[in-house]
Amino acid sequence: QLVESGGALVQPGGSMKLSCAATGTNFGTFFMHWFRRAPAKEREWVATIGTRRVETYDDSVKGRFTISRDDDKNTVYLQMNNLIPEDTAVYYCAATSSRYETVWGQGTQFTVSS
């Protein structure tokens, strides 16, 4: 099970850190992802961190967002800086196992607005 937290209202140019806590075992064996769904748009991939902490990002967030993980706490994070209104979305974390099975969180709403 994955539970996201950190949804809020932030002004443009601001920062926010989302968290996603996982229950269960073997967290360190999962690839962890962040996705988002903006209003009236399809869900889109944001970032992934692998089991060896290799990070990949969509071009729309590269240089502004940082994904990280703490395997001791079974938690993945998304640090978001220099936020723009287009970052407004429901943010989801997901975990993909070594057998390519993916589990999703319930999502957390995040709004960038002045």
Structural element, H or E, at residue 88 = none
Distances (CA, A) of 69 to 11, 12, 18, 53, 75: 26, 26, 11, 8, 6
In this predicted model, which residue has the larger pLDDT, 104 or 6? 104
pLDDT tens by residue, 19-71: 999 997 788 889 999 999 999 999 999 999 999 999 999 999 999 999 999 99
List 22's β-bridge partners, or say none: 2
* CB 95 within 8 Å of CB 2: yes
pLDDT tens by residue, 9-28: 999 999 999 999 999 778 88
